[in-house]
Structure 1
Amino acid sequence: MYNHKRFHPLALVIRFFESITSILGALIAGIIGIFSGHFWLLLFPIIYISVEVISYMTTYYTVDEQNVTIQKGLINKSTTVIPYDRIQTVRQSQWFFLAPFDLTTVNIETAGGSDSKSEGVLTVVPIAVFDLIESYRSQEAPVKTATQSSSEVNQTDGDATATKPQFKKLPASHILLFAITNLNILASSAVIAGLGGRFLNHAGSKLNSEVSRVIFSSVAYIALSIFGVLLLGFIYSLIRTLLTYYDFRIARTGNTLVIKSGLLKEKTQQIPLHKIQNVQVKKHPIRRLFGFSSILVYVYSGQDKQSKEDSSNNHTYLFPIIKNAEVYPFLATYLPEWQLHSPKITLLTQNRLWYFVRWTLLVIGILAVLEIIFWQVVPIWVVGLVILFFALVLLDEYLEAKGQGYGFSQSRFICIQRYHLFTKEINFLDKNKVQNVTQRTTPLLYHRQKIGHIKLPVKMNNDHGDQLKLRFIPIKVIQEIRDFYEQ
Structure 2
Amino acid sequence: MNRLHPFSAVTMAIQQAITGFTLPFFLVIFLSSVTDVVTTTWAFVLAPAGLVLGVAYALAYYYRFEYGMTSDTFDVQSGVFSRRSREIPYGRIQNVDIARGVVQRLLGLAVVSIETAGGGSTEAALRFVSEGEANRLQRQIRKRTAEVKGRQREPRPSAADESTTTDEEPVEPRPDKPTSPRGADRGREVADEIGPAESSEASGYEVDRRREQRLFDLRSRELLLYAFTSFRPAAVAAVLFLFFLATDTILEYFVAIAQPVGGPEDLETGTTGSYGVLTLVSFVNGLVITYLLSVAYTFATYFGFRLSRADEDFVYERGLLQRYSGSIPAEKVQSVTVTDNPAQRLIGYAGLWVETAGYGPDSSAGSQSAVPLAKRRRVYTFTENLTDVERPRFHRPPTIARRRYLVRYSLIALAIVAVAFAVTRVTVLERWYLAVAVFTAVPPAAHLRYVNLGYFVGEDHLVIRRGFWRRRTTVVPYYRIQTVSTRRSIFQRRLGLASLLVDTASSRTFSQATPTIYDVDLEDARDVHETGRKRLQSALRERARSDDPGFSVDFT
Kept after mapping to 1: 8 A contact 2:16/2:55: no
Which of residues 426, 429, 454 is equivalent to 2:476?
A: 429
What is the aligned partner in structure 2 of residue 361 from structure 1? 410
What is the aligned partner in structure 2 of residue 309 from structure 1? none
Structure-2-length-normalised TM-score: 0.67
Partner SS, residue 300 of structure 2: helix
What is the aligned partner in structure 2 of residue 459 from structure 1? 505
- Give the distance between the partners of 1:440 and 1:402, measured in 2 at CA: 21
Query: C-alpha deviations, 1:41-61, integer Å up to 9, x for none?
Result: 444544434432332222111
Moved more, 168-177 or 143-152: 143-152
RMSD of aligned Cα (Å): 4.8
What is the aligned partner in structure 2 of residue 106 from structure 1? 112
Query: C-alpha deviations, 1:448-487, integer Å up to 9, x for none?
Result: 7543222222231499984222332123321331232123
What is the aligned partner in structure 1 of residue 60 from structure 2? 54
Matched, 1:475 2:522: yes
Kept after mapping to 2: 8 A contact 1:185/1:238: no
- Give the distance between the partners of 1:46 and 1:190, measured in 2 at CA: 38
- Give the distance between the partners of 2:504 and 2:360, measured in 1 at CA: 15
Partner SS, residue 295 of structure 1: strand
Q: Which amino acid aligns with 2:143?
A: S
Shift of 1:290: 2.0
What is the aligned partner in structure 2 of residue 283 from structure 1? 340
- Structure 2 stretches lacking a partner, 5+ long: 30-39, 149-183, 244-251, 536-556
Q: Which amino acid aligns with 1:454?
A: L
Q: 1:93 to 1:203 in 2, by over 3 A?
A: same
- How many residues in Structure 1 have an aligned counterpart in Structure 2? 459
What is the aligned partner in structure 1 of residue 457 from structure 2? 408
Matched, 1:10 2:7: yes
What is the aligned partner in structure 1 of residue 377 from structure 2? 325
Once the two structures are superposed, the pairs formed by residues 166-205 of structure 1 within 5 Å of their partners are: 166-184=214-232, 205=262
Shift of 1:394: 6.6
Matched, 1:119 2:123: yes
Kept after mapping to 1: 8 A contact 2:402/2:450: yes
Moved more, 361-370 or 451-460: 361-370
Q: Which amino acid aligns with 1:179?
A: A
Partner SS, residue 432 of structure 1: helix
- Give the distance between the partners of 2:3 and 2:217, measured in 1 at CA: 35
- Give the distance between the partners of 1:385 and 1:186, measured in 2 at CA: 32
Kept after mapping to 2: 8 A contact 1:350/1:403: no
Kept after mapping to 2: 8 A contact 1:346/1:405: yes
Q: Which amino acid aligns with 1:169?
A: D
- Give the distance between the partners of 1:138 and 1:179, measured in 2 at CA: 35
Kept after mapping to 2: 8 A contact 1:69/1:80: yes
Once the two structures are superposed, the pairs formed by residues 218-297 of structure 1 within 5 Å of their partners are: 234-297=291-354
Which of residues 211, 215, 220 is equivalent to 1:163?
A: 211
Kept after mapping to 2: 8 A contact 1:258/1:269: yes
- Give the distance between the partners of 2:52 and 2:440, measured in 1 at CA: 57
Structure-1-length-normalised TM-score: 0.76
What is the aligned partner in structure 1 of residue 89 from structure 2? 83
Shift of 1:368: 4.7
Moved more, 234-243 or 96-105: 96-105
Shift of 1:245: 0.8
- Give the distance between the partners of 1:175 and 1:182, measured in 2 at CA: 11
Larger Rg: 2
Q: 1:234 to 1:134 in 2, by over 3 A?
A: same
Query: C-alpha deviations, 1:235-275, integer Å up to 9, x for none?
Result: 54333222211100001222211111112222122111122
Moved more, 234-243 or 281-290: 234-243
What is the aligned partner in structure 1 of residue 539 from structure 2? none
Shift of 1:280: 0.8
Partner SS, residue 138 of structure 2: helix
- Give the distance between the partners of 1:443 and 1:215, measured in 2 at CA: 51
